[in-house]
Homo-oligomer: A and B are copies of this chain.
Amino acid sequence: MLIAARSRKWPLRIIALGGMNEIGKNCYVIEYEDDMLVVDAGLAFPEEEMLGVDVVIPDFTYLKENRHRLRAVLLTHGHEDHVGGLPYLLREVQVPVYATGLTLGLVRHKLKEYGLELHPDSRVIDPGRWLEIGRFRVLPYLVTHSIPDSVGFGVETPVGTVVYTGDYKFDQTPVDGRPADYAALAELGRRGVLVMLGDSTNADRPGVTPSERSVGAAIAEVIARASGRVLVATFASNVHRIQQVIDASARYGRKVAVLGRSMEQTVQVAADLGYLRGAGGVLVRLEHMRDMPPERCTILTTGSQGEPLSALTRMSTGDHRRFQIEPGDTVVIAATPIPGNEKLVYRTINNLFRLGAQVVYGREAGVHASGHGSQEELKLMLNLLKPRFLVPVHGEYRHMILHRRLAVEMGIPEERVLIGGNGDVFGFDGERGEIISGVPSGTVLVDGLGVGDVGQVVLRDRQQLAQDGILIAVVGVRAGTAEIVSGPEIISRGFVYMREAEDLIEEVRRRAADAVASRAGEGDVNWTELKSAIRDALAGFLYEKTHRRPMIVPVVLEVEQPAVAAAERDG
């Protein structure tokens, strides 16, 4: 059975369905007796070897099988790695969603794209205000992060309090003037925290992450100096940064247009809900910029990760329908490439230079700051909450280990830092805690409309096809005897350029025919063996000639044909 045995010994259980050993698809379950909460339901982007996969979501099997116990999904903030899996979860399970205003606004929008709606009991929560959910009392408290309205959760249970930090940094000069709720954190710490699930993303960075405000200052300087149009590419959801671009543009007499579907959506939602100040007089439609002098124009856009279909990427290759880069334009890449995206980002930058733009990018330019706290901030969090147990989450393995190292340096005994993986069940009583069992976990791949149907077999095939292509040998044989009546025809894709490899292909044809002929005869023909014989005959030959290993697919088509007819033909 898939249901983890409820346990008298470990009345409080925490399960990570995602977010362990990865920065992505965060999804944590907190359960006490018959009550279960889910915090966050994110997605991840595919690893390089997951060819053709669109996104990756957690395995929600455990939630489906325990839906009767699931009281609510709580969301910390509106980033994809925390909310992107929600549509897939809500298709399976009807459950109310609790989140702050902006987060719920963005989620509502996203669900609409999937033809879904929020459960009617869903609601906007106020940071600082306790909630009662089943046996849990939950305190959402404000944190600072790269999207407004981010919170962490303190969850009181009968055996102790769990704090899930969510994503956070301690920005002492936040753009919206709303610093993290130190008082709430300190109060939780004073009352006693049994276990803290702590963001580990930047556990390998010493010091303190720069304030978002320093990014605003750097961008403002670019805007102040530029004599032409300024384009700022950043993450669509970074409303604080968008705010600062709007403010700086207003200060220097510029209007701002927004280009790129996801950013247009964020700006719309954020403006509607009151998370953007003073945008009314500054934002204009892109089309209105046609007649404005370039030094009055700022354009906010997507594509800071070099995403192939994004607005900036298309502009950089001259392929954008509505906007052309021109000499004199300044482009600010207000982002650091996420590992894996470097080449795409640099390609975009090269192309922008080619079109004559000035490009402001890179660490030294100061136009990006992480949304995650560095080591000194992780330490501050530990000092505020003073948890009995630390479960490092939201990090690759190295980040979780380095988070542990920080905690141990601060006096938490090593055995009270629990390093786990997705699917692990962490059991706690008021005093002890350990990994007690597991539930189904792992990654569910989404490709087009298919959720979970692409697995190892399909991926392995794609990898082989990508490396060396495919060679198909089709032969029609007489049913029963396997005498060749048509073919072999040889077709290849992604292996060699057929027109220039005629000799090779002809030799392949001959060898395939020989392989069939050597098996043909009067007795019962074993079709599986016949195909293997073709495959073996070709694989060795092709490797010898090319040092490539295309996938070889033999197709044997049986044709009912009386011997007389064949004789007639051959005659």
Contact = CB atoms under 8 A, between A and B. Distances in A.
Contacts of A564: 565
A398 B346 contact: yes
A387 B343 CA distance: 32
A466 B465 contact: yes
Interface stretch (A156-164, A265-273, A278-286, A492-500): A492-500
A129 interface: no
B204 A497 contact: no
A478 B401 CA distance: 67
Contacts of A548: 52, 447-448, 450
Interface stretch (A69-77, A113-121, A482-490): A482-490
A529 interface: no
A9 interface: no
A291 to B, nearest CB: 31
Given A364-B206, A495-B458, A560-B569, A472 B553 contact: yes
Contacts of A474: 474, 555, 557
B455 A497 contact: yes
Contacts of A51: 466-467, 494
Interface string A442-469: 0000011110011101110111011111
Contact of A559 (B465, B486, B547, B562): B486
B52 A469 contact: yes
B343 A453 contact: no
Contacts of A346: 339, 396, 398
A469 B486 CA distance: 27
Contact of A547 (B47, B353, B401, B448): B448
B485 A560 contact: yes
B555 A555 contact: yes
Interface residues of A, number: 77
A134 B565 CA distance: 75
Interface string A421-452: 00000000000000000000000000111100
A491 interface: yes
A487 B557 contact: yes
A359 interface: yes
A52 to B, nearest CB: 4
A476 interface: yes
A21 interface: yes
Which applies to chain A's interface (DSSP): helix, strand, loop or mixed? mixed
Contacts of A546: 447-450
A346 B486 CA distance: 53
Each complex incorporates copies of this chain amounting to 2
Contact of A561 (B204, B401, B561): B561
A533 B357 CA distance: 47
A66 to B, nearest CB: 25
B493 A453 contact: no
A367 interface: no
A559 B485 CA distance: 6
A364 B402 CA distance: 15
A372 to B, nearest CB: 15
A520 interface: no
Contacts of A494: 51-52, 458-459, 461-462, 465
A390 interface: no
B343 A489 contact: no
A354 interface: yes
A353 B455 contact: no
A411 interface: no
A219 interface: no
A565 B555 contact: no
Contacts of A540: none
Nearest to A349: B398
Nearest to A204: B362
A401 B352 CA distance: 11
A555 B554 CA distance: 12
A561 B204 CA distance: 72
A465 to B, nearest CB: 4
A486 B559 CA distance: 6
A539 B462 CA distance: 19
Contacts of A489: 555, 557
A1 interface: no
A359 B398 contact: yes
A497 B468 CA distance: 21
A278 to B, nearest CB: 35
Given A362-B204, A476-B486, A557-B476, A468 B397 contact: no
A551 interface: yes
10 tightest A-B contacts by CB? A448-B547, A466-B466, A465-B465, A461-B494, A339-B342, A462-B494, A350-B397, A565-B565, A52-B467, A560-B569
Given A448-B548, A465-B469, A465-B470, 12 more contacts: A21-B350, A350-B396, A350-B398, A359-B398, A450-B496, A453-B497, A453-B501, A457-B497, A476-B476, A476-B486, A486-B559, A560-B565
